[in-house]
Amino acid sequence: MCGGREREAAETIGGDAAVKGGLDLKGEKLRLEEVEIDVRSEENLSNVTGHQVQLEQVFLNLLGNARDAMEGAEGKKQIHIALKSAKDGAIEITTRDTGGGIPKDNIDRIFEPFFTTKEMGKGTGLGLSVSYGIIRDMDGMIEVANIDEGAEFKITLPMASAAEYVEGAA
């Protein structure tokens, strides 16, 4: 029990369910702001173990940050999301944007709590820190790098084991 509430048990979720959930919540707003969204997913992508709502929050944070980075930028506003199987029994979810990237001085601090490059009142600096914690709690990894036109976040999550499909085994 934590704070008077029992911790909810992790569940097996589809590899692309959280991305779809995040896009269901944020996609229309992005389209209205003329942000092109391109999602590519391998067929029969494996499941992962975690909390659907928490993983959706990770993608809401990434989509919101990408949108903010592209605000006022020249050229096309695009977010590319790719889901694929990775080595060692994992899935990889990559988001790329055309927002110009993260300044070199900031990239090593991007997952620190309360670190933000946004002006006062536009961000708390908690979104990426919380996202980092969620992915870590799922035994995964989240990395960031600058690419030609923007930033790339790569999330690697272990596939759900066969034992987790057996009732009561998780």
CATH number for the domain spanning 128: value is: 3.30.565.10
| HSE-CB of 84 using CA atoms within 13 angstroms | 8
Distance CA 4, CA 148 (A): 48
Task: Quote the number of domains for the chain.
Answer: 1
* Separation CA 3–CA 119 (nearest Å): 33
pTM: 0.86
Strand partners, 48: 13, 159
In a domain, 7, yes or no: no
Question: What is the CB neighbour count within 10 angstroms for residue 77?
Answer: 21
pLDDT tens digits for range 33-57: 999 999 999 988 889 999 999 999 9
Residue 169 counted as domain residue: no
At 123 the pLDDT is 67
E strand or H helix that includes residue 97: strand 90-97
In a domain, 73, yes or no: yes
Higher pLDDT, 116 or 157: 157
Q: Residue 19 belongs to what domain range?
A: 15-161
DSSP string, 50-89: E-HHHHHHHHHHHHHHHHHHHTT-SS-EEEEEEEEEETTT
